[in-house]
Amino acid sequence: MLAYFWPKSNIHEIRILEDAKVENVRLIDRFNSRQQIIGNYHNNYYDSSFPIVKYFLLLLLRLTGTIYLTSTHLIFIDPEGKRETWILHSLTSYVDKLPTTQHGCPLHVRTKHFLAAEFTIPKERDCADLHATLNQLKPDSYEKLYCFLYQAPNYLEKIWDPFLLATEYVRMGVPNTNWKVEDGNSNFDMCDTYPPLIYVPILTTKAMLFGSSKFRSRGRLPVLTYLHPNGASITRCSQPLSGFSARCQEDEQLLQCILKTNPYSSTMYIIDTRPRINAVANRAAGKGYENEDYYSNIQFKFCSIENIHIMRGSLQKLLETCEMKNPTMNQYLNALDNSSWLQHIKSILDAAILIARAIEVEKKNVLVHCSDGWDRTAQCCSLASLLLCPYYRSIHGFRVLIEKEWLSFGHKFSDRCGHTATSDSKEQSPIFLQFIESVWQLSQIYPTAFEFNERFLISLHDNSHSCQYGNFVGNCEKDRLDLCVKERTYSYWNYVLQNVNDFKNPLFRPQSSYASEVLLPVINSQTLKFWLSMYHRFDSSLLPKENISNTLAHLVDHTLSLNDHARLLEKRIRELHSMLDGDPTTIPTTASSSTTTTATTTTSNEDVDDSDVEKGNHHKKISLPELDSGLSETELSQTRIADSISSKLNTILKPSTLSTSDVESGFSGDYSPHGKAPLSSFILQHQSSIDTNDIPTIERIALELNSIALDWRSYHTPLHCSCSLPFDSAQRKYNCWRCGENFCARCIERGIYLPGLYSNSLAPVCKTCACSIKSSPSFADFSALVKSKSTEFIRNQTAMKLSRSMIIDQFNNDR
Amino acid sequence: MVTDLIKIPCVRNIVFRDHLQSYPESILNVTLHNVIVSLKQSDGDLKELWIFYTNMDGFQAKFPMKNEFRSQLPTSPSLSSKYTITLRLKTLATCHFDIPVLDEAIKLAESLDALIARTDESTCDVTGLFPFYFPRDFEVIQDGWTAFSVESEFSRLQAISDEWRITDLNKNFAVCETYSERLVVPKSISDDQLKRSAEFRSHGRFPVLCYLHKSSKSCIIRCAQPLVGSSVRRCKEDEALVNSMLIQRHKKGWILDTRNPNIVKVAQSKGGGCEPEQHYALWKRLHRHLDRHSVLQESFVKFIDACIDQSEKDRWLSKLENSNWLLYVKEALTVACIVAQTIDREETSVLVHGNDGWDTTLLVTSLAQVLLHPDCRTITGFEALIEREWIQAGHPFRTRCTRAAFGKSSRGYESPLFTLFLDCTWQLLQQFACSFEFNDTLLIQLFEHAYSSKFGTFIFNNEKEKTKYNGVKKTVSLWSYFNRPEILRTFLNPFYEPNISVLWPSVAAQSIILWRSLYLRFYENQIPQQEAWDEYLIIKEKELQLRSYVNKLRQELLELERKCTEKNSNMIKMEKDSVTTT
């Protein structure tokens, strides 16, 4: 029942509204109410004829807690403070107060991310207050949206990684000999819901475009959205204002230009994603569809995707199905069937596959439209692109797809998701959700083809509603420009980038044919599944108790930590070997050994972590008597010096580096006074100038070995985090890389450099381990050293990342 | 003569089609036990496909008369000479043979008809089936016939409680034809008492122990219905036997009847019934109805029809709902959960029976054991469970599995109870993906072998029949085939982590899902799923390898460290010596 977590340190920053606290509230969980934690497992009781039922009432009575209201959240905390339910006001879809019962006054809160909480509040007046307040707290204008208030955790910066549509078109090879970029819409005067730059056939003229835009609903004229490597393209637009007989020469010409961009086909498809009857009905309103008599070489097709109102009703029915209390199998299947939700998903996927087939198999251009060309068209074009182009199946590519098809071409996120309380409820519709679910269905058919996982899709859906980030605010690019979201809010994509490991599909196999080719699935009704982990994600008792995808992520993380650690161990072993190598046979000639010494010295100067220097020097002394006669005099003398130095060094340093007890004693002990002091101090100076901290001392090695757990706690065994938060199967657990135990997201610190890692990257560590590792004596120097080096590294990396996209943009601008 | 049934030994130049592929220029050979189809692969190689008659559930021949055919399809001459035989297999696959010559097609259809009918229980005794002719083509590591004995299970029981003994009462199947020869019963009850109890139970299936729970020492008992009849007869010995199985006397046990009270009443009028409460005062009764026999069979037929129907004429979900199959899955799981809950939470014993105690009773007792007993979630444990609770307990496999989802049931005795058990197990596997040592490949294999097999494990109705036809000597056990490393490897679940606790699955309607990898495996492209599975294995393997590699490196490092220290101390010594000498 965990809605949105903030790191605990941030909690004090949330202002709790005055008097906005209701105590002794009971939270009734639809499925968990008859649940009790026994021994190791959550226990569902299967039959009410058993006397055990008596316990439940007792348990239920104890499950009382307190509701707190903040300006942004409703927070319910159970008496032990173990579980917190956070409900963001902008996610609340529906608050309902029911008639008072003997237990108190029930308050239902439903959210757009499918949480249905049922509170029972002792006093009716409190309940009424709460009900009224919750309704008032819903943002009633853009300015009050959560993204303008949200203060992200420290690691998230307010940087918007710029997305430029041009970059994506360049990737597709546009402009080229058939397509050009047109800036006619730079002031949004051709169409205010299109991006400033549009891509059109090379043969078009501005007049043609303006003419066509006048003939299309809301000025949404046909423009390029996807170009396949075989030359076939997807273009999108809105319905023509054809009525019963109107025609427009410019529009007809524009379509002929589009047809001519594809040399391989003499005809093209126009796919109207609406059912025929809807299209015909629109003719009465002066809109409609293209008359095949006026447009030559056109194949016209209808796909029966229903309109936003039917989809809204369907979702409503689906949610009612989800909220059924203890349905029988047949009631449940019947309700699911009656909602038609999966049928609608199928009709969308069918249309997308039809388009993809036309492009890939028939090599024909496809023009897609619906009514206004921003709902069904967006769904179909983006899904078809996803099927056609493997790039969109990566995390970055998927982002580009959404930026292009949904954000740039003006899907009305604010209206469809009902971001503000003032928005028309008749405009709301789960269009984006259907797209997300269609992608999920595809990812179920092809588990290895997508770089992202289910968690990513769910997060994307939630954030399109939550307005925590500015990306999905407003109805088109123009709205977002007017609201200055880029300056005032955080970017969702930045958040994704920072947490990218959580969103990666461990099964993704880039080299697999499914990940690298066009997907043309055969979809039957039987193929589609009900998305349990989306719609029932807060009903943990319904979900599989042991979650494979989380287990996989756990394995992948473990592999990551072991791999990094293994590289360090390999390096240490090499070092110790060379230390030990008193065996002359391993060094072919002194000359070469001295050159390797210098080589290592240079590398070590560049590299953060290298202690080869002193070892390189240490062990050359033995080869003196066996010097090759072929060596030149100078070389000889050099090696002599080097070796004499190193022999001294050995005698002095070794006890210090390797004695178990004390570093100091080895140094200042018996030997330095015996005339060797100048030499050793010289060496020492030389040493410390390189890296005093990275000598493989016994303490150092022990520290390194202790900092990485070889075995991790099994993913399933602990049922509570150390903070006593109960784990449920949907929740992702994180392992501390040091102790290997499982923790919840809040109990893991991410800013720790573990000595046992080769790569100096930040590792997730639990709080206890973080403390103990910070307090260990030799750690301080190490972390200081690593930090200075690696922050520089990270800075370079981010700079590189940003500059890469900027270079591409620059390139485009130049063109 | 059986060979007379083969009207045509070989048909050439046919097109073999299944749901996903088509192989032209194939050759079909008709033999005594199977048809062998030689498929021409795209690379020119031939692949042989054996289809046993025992695996054939039914076939349809579409032979339109020539002129009629022409009028239908006047424009496609290539089709005009095609006669199609559609074969429905018990594995749920569908395949088509397009035969160019009408005469050959008719002969083939006649042969198939006769040869399939010959495998029926009513026409052919079990020794005529392929398992009696199957030459073992692999080396047996562990003989499946002797791998799971009553004794080995009994030794586990002994460690928990010494109140039980093995009885030889049923030697030569004298008391009960459908039980095995050795059975576990309470020590305190004599063989005579058992005999009297057997007389009081339908088919002589008196109450025997099938599971003893470690922590509570409560047990699951199964039997057939008591022959109470309308005169409400009683049998003191049976009462004593049943009561002796109640370990904790202060708590009442539960008698779980898998029929609803109305059916019990009907049964009572025919001489059967349920234990009357006045005579079994230590026990409480619970009726949880589970459908069986023809009702279940019809449901399965409708269900598979819904799964493979791609015409989209009817709505899939409503067809699924009408079939009731998932409802039965949910019900069976619920009843099993009730049993497990009683055993583990209430800590009292459960006696389960229906009519004969060899159908739904076994479904409940075996599922409850999967929930309760961690051993049953291992591969050998699961095999032992099937051997113990299904085969030795006398589930009539031959009768129940004569027809699967497509065939017309001739006598109405077919019933997919074992399939239901596998489906329920799969639901558990789905919810507890890491608690099972095996994956769904094992379950699918079991499904296929239960209906049609080269092995003798599932072809008998009970132990007596197996002994009568000398099945142990003359056929090969499926377990002998399974329990070899190369086969076992394919059954392993890479995520298995032994979980000693009892499983408490969700039995809510939302949690019961369609077993796609079984029912739709011939109708959906399985390659992407296979690829995902391979990826699972790779990820797990990588982790294991790295772990042992890191472990090795650590040891090596510590060893080196030790050597360095040694060397240094030596060196210090030398240095010291030199210092002192100077």
pLDDT digits (tens, 9 = 90+) for B274-326: 999 899 999 999 999 999 888 999 999 999 999 988 877 668 999 999 999 99
Q: What is the maximal distance between C-alpha atoms in chain B?
A: 121
Report the alpha-carbon distance of residue A216 to residue A254 in Å, rounded.
12
Residues 48-67 on A with a CB inside 8 Å of B are: 49-50, 52
- Token pair listed for A734: 């994180």
The reported pLDDT for the residue numbered A606 is 37
Candidate from A99-103, B200-204, B256-260 with smallest mean pLDDT: A99-103
Phi, psi of A64 (to 5 degrees): -100, 150
Cα-to-chain-centroid distance, residue A573: 38
Q: What angle do CA B425, B427, B430 make, to 5 degrees?
A: 110
Flag the least confident range among A105-114, A385-394, A519-528, A623-632. Answer: A623-632
CA A651 → CA A667, B454, B579, distances in Å?
10, 76, 12
Check: complex ipTM more than 0.85: yes
**Residue A536: its chain B contacts at CB < 8 A?**
510
Residue with tokens 């239902």: A108
CB A467 within 8 A of CB A522: no
Binding residues of A for substrate: 307-308, 370-376
Whether residue A52 has pLDDT greater than 70: no
Amino acid A750 reads R
The answer to which of A140-144, A397-401, A770-774, A811-815 has the lowest mean pLDDT is A811-815
For residues B211-233, one letter each, b for 16 or more C-beta atoms within 10 angstroms of the residue's C-beta and e for the rest, the string is: bbbeebebbbbbbbbbbbeeeee
The reported pLDDT for the residue numbered A120 is 81
pLDDT of residue A626: 36
pLDDT digits (tens, 9 = 90+) for A528-580: 999 999 998 887 778 888 888 888 988 999 999 999 999 999 988 888 888 77
Q: Which of B289, B316, B317 to mutate to test the interface with A (most CBs of A within 10 A)?
A: B317
Q: Tell me how close the Cα of A232 comes to any Cα of chain B, in angstroms.
A: 27
- Distance of alpha carbon B41 from alpha carbon A436, whole angstroms: 40
Looking at residue B63, what is its pLDDT? 75
- Tell me if B546 and A563 make a contact (CB, 8 A cut-off): yes
pLDDT tops 80 at residue A135: yes
Q: Compute chain B's Rg from CA coordinates.
A: 29
Q: Is the pLDDT of residue A716 over 90?
A: no
In this prediction, residue A745 carries a pLDDT of 80
Question: Residue B452: which of B471, B474, B478, B480 has the closest Cα?
Answer: B478
The closest CB to that of A43, out of B504, B528, B568, belongs to B504
Region A266-281: mean pLDDT is: 94
Q: Name A452's bridge partners.
A: A504
Q: How many CB pairs under 8 A join A and B?
A: 236
Mean pLDDT value across chain B: 89
pLDDT confidence bin for A471, thresholds 50/70/90: very high
Chain A residues with beta carbon closer than 8 angstroms to that of B501: 39-41
pLDDT of residue B409: 64
Q: What are phi and psi of B476, to 5 degrees?
A: -105, 140
Tokens (6 digits) for A485: 């979201």
Closest alpha carbon within chain A to B324: A330
d(CA A501, CA A560): 11
Amino acid at A712: W
Q: Predicted confidence band at A786 (pLDDT cuts at 50, 70, 90)?
A: low
What are A471's two structure tokens?
Answer: 């990306």
CATH number of B10-69+79-119: 2.30.29.30
pLDDT at A799: 45
- Cβ-in-10-Å burial (0-12, 13-18, 19+) of A641 comes to exposed
Inspect the interface and report whether the beta carbons of B430 and A556 lie closer than 8 Å. no
| From A445, A509, A542, residue closest to B535, measured CB to CB | A509
Cβ neighbours of residue A297 under 8 Å, at least 6 residues apart?
A256, A259, A266, A267, A268
Query: Is residue A287 very low, low, confident or very high in pLDDT (cuts 50, 70, 90)?
Result: very high
Residue A744: what are its φ and ψ, rounded to 5°? -80, 165
> pLDDT grade, residue A613 (50/70/90)?
very low
User: What is the mean predicted confidence (pLDDT) over B140-162?
Assistant: 88
Taking CA atoms, B548 is separated from A704, B257, B551, B552, B554, in Å, by 18, 53, 5, 6, 10
Query: Could you give the 3-state DSSP secondary structure of residue A73?
Result: strand
Name the residues of A annotated as catalytic: 370
Distance from C-alpha of A507 to C-alpha of A548, rounded to nearest angstrom: 11
- Strand order across the beta sheet in which A116-121 lies: A84-88, A73-77, A64-70, A16-28, A116-121, A105-111, A92-97
Taking an 8 Å cut-off on Cβ atoms, the answer to whether B508 and A541 are in contact is yes
What residues of chain B lie within 8 A of the CB of A611, using their CB? none
Q: Are A79 and A25 in contact (CB under 8 A)?
A: no
Q: How confident is the model at residue A63 (pLDDT cuts 50, 70, 90)?
A: low
Is-contact B370 B503, C-beta < 8 A?
Answer: yes
Question: 């000597």: which residue's tokens?
Answer: B473
SS (H, E, C) A510-573: CCCHHHHCCCCCCCCHHHCCCCHHHHCCCCHHHCCCECHHHHHHHHHHHHHHHHHHHHHHHHHH
pLDDT in tens, B384-434: 999 999 999 999 999 998 888 887 766 778 899 999 999 999 999 999 999
pLDDT category of residue B1 using cuts at 50, 70 and 90: low
State which of A694-698, B100-104, B313-317 shows the largest mean pLDDT.
Answer: B100-104
Mark which residues 505-534 of A lie under 8 Å from B by CB: 506-507, 509, 512, 514, 521-522, 524-527, 529-530, 532
Full set of structural domains in chain A with CATH: 21-37+50-138 (2.30.29.30), 165-530 (no CATH), 549-569+697-805 (3.30.40.10)
With a cut of 90, say whether residue A23 has pLDDT above it.
no
Instruction: With CB atoms and an 8 Å threshold, state whether A570 touches B553.
Output: yes
Check whether A45 has a pLDDT greater than 50.
no
Can you give the pLDDT at residue A32?
44
Question: Mean pLDDT for chain A?
Answer: 76
Chain A residue numbers touching B560 (CB-CB < 8 A) = 573, 576-577, 580
Mean pLDDT calculated for residue range A666-688: 33
Contact of A200 with A209, CB cutoff 8 Å? yes
Longest alpha-carbon distance in chain A: 110
Q: Cα–Cα distance between B579 and B582 in angstroms, integer? A: 5
Amino acid at B122: S
Phi/psi region, residue A197 (left: phi>0; alpha: psi -120 to 50; beta: rest), is beta
Which of A45, A327, A544 has the CB atom closest to B509's CB atom?
A327
Given this model, what pLDDT does residue A604 score?
Answer: 35
- Please state the pTM of the whole predicted model: 0.86
d(CA B87, CA B107): 15
CB contact under 8 A, B506 and A522: no
User: Do the Cβ atoms of B539 and A556 come within 8 Å?
Assistant: yes
Cross-chain CB nearest to B561 (options A541, A576, A651): A576
pLDDT value for A29: 53
Give the residue-averaged pLDDT of A391-404. Answer: 95
Distance CA B565, CA B246 (A): 68
Given a contact cutoff of 8 angstroms between Cβ atoms, the answer to whether A564 and A757 are in contact is yes
- Higher-confidence residue of A587 and B261: namely B261
Distance of residue A652 Cα from the nearest chain B Cα, in angstroms? 9
Q: Give which of B541, B554, B573 to mutate to test A binding, by max A Cβ within 10 Å.
A: B554
Q: How far apart are CA A362 and CA A355, in angstroms?
A: 10
Gap from B234 CA to chain A (nearest CA, Å): 27
Q: How far apart are CA B363 and CA B365, in angstroms?
A: 6
What's the pLDDT at B445? 96
CB count, 10 Å around CB of B251?
16
Q: Answer whether residue A56 shows pLDDT above 50.
A: no
The band of A408, judged by pLDDT with boundaries at 50, 70 and 90, is very high
Residue B21: pLDDT band (50, 70, 90) is: confident
Q: Is the pLDDT confidence value at A648 over 60?
A: no
Q: Token pair 């459960």 is at which residue?
A: B350
Residues B163 and B486: beta-carbon distance below 8 Å:
no
Residue A82's pLDDT band (cuts 50, 70, 90): low
What are the C-alpha distances in Å from A355 to residues A305, A387, A394? 14, 10, 21
Alpha-carbon distance A376 to A351, whole Å? 10
Q: Which positions in chain A touch B513 (Cβ < 8 Å)?
A: 529-530, 532
Spatial separation of the C-alpha atoms in residues A413 and A436, rounded to whole Å? 14
- Considering only CB atoms, A514 lies closest to which of B502, B528, B554, namely B528
Mutate to test the interface with A, among B255, B312, B316 (most CBs of A within 10 A): B316
Question: What are residue B514's DSSP bridge partners?
Answer: none
C-beta atoms of B572 and A545 within 8 A:
no
Predicted local confidence at residue A302, as pLDDT: 95
pLDDT at residue A675 is higher than 50: no
Torsions phi, psi of A576, nearest 5?
-65, -35
The rounded distance, in Å, linking the Cα atoms of A154 and B39 is 64
C-alpha A782/C-alpha A694 separation (Å) is 8
A606: Cβ–Cβ under 8 A, 6 or more apart, which residues? none
The nearest alpha carbon in chain A to B332 belongs to: A46
- Answer yes or no: are the C-beta atoms of A340 and A314 closer than 8 Å: yes
pLDDT confidence of residue A539: 79
Q: What is the pLDDT of residues B334-375, one digit of tens each?
A: 999 999 988 998 889 999 999 999 999 999 999 999 999 999
* DSSP code at position B344: I
Q: Note whether A650 contacts B: Cβ–Cβ < 8 A.
A: yes
Burial B336-352, CB ≥16 within 10 A → b, else e: bbbbbbbbbbbebbbbb
| List of residues 6+ apart from B341 with CB closer than 8 A | A45, A46, A47, A50
A782 or A590: whose pLDDT is higher? A782
At B27-66, the pLDDT tens digits run 999 998 889 999 888 777 888 889 999 899 888 887 765 5
Whether pLDDT at B179 is above 70: yes
**Rounded Cα–Cα distance for residues A147 and A420 (Å):** 12
The edge-to-edge listing of strands for the beta sheet with B34-40 is B46-52, B34-40, B22-30, B10-17, B94-99, B83-89, B56-62
Give the residue among A383, A550, A533, A387 at the shortest CA–CA distance from A462. A533
Looking at A269-278, A806-815, B186-195, B431-440, which range is the least confident one?
Answer: A806-815
DSSP B378: S
Distance CA B447, CA B439 (A): 13
Residue of B nearest to A615 (CA): B564
Which of A447, A546, A705 is facing B528, going by the closest CB pair? A447
Q: Is A447 close to B532, i.e. CB distance below 8 A? A: yes
- Of A229-238, A432-441, A674-683, least confident by mean pLDDT is A674-683
The residue ranking higher by pLDDT, A725 or A27, is A725
User: Is the pLDDT score of B186 beyond 60?
Assistant: yes
Burial class (CB in 10 A: 0-12, 13-18, 19+), A440: buried
Q: At a CB cut-off of 8 Å and minimum separation 6, what does A793 contact?
A: A760
When pLDDT is cut at 50, 70 and 90, the band that residue A778 belongs to is low
For the stretch A161-220, pLDDT in tens is 778 889 999 999 989 999 999 988 888 888 999 999 999 999 999 999 999 999 999 999
pLDDT above 90 covers a percentage of chain A that reads: 38
Kindly indicate the confidence band of residue A325, based on its pLDDT and cuts at 50, 70 and 90: confident
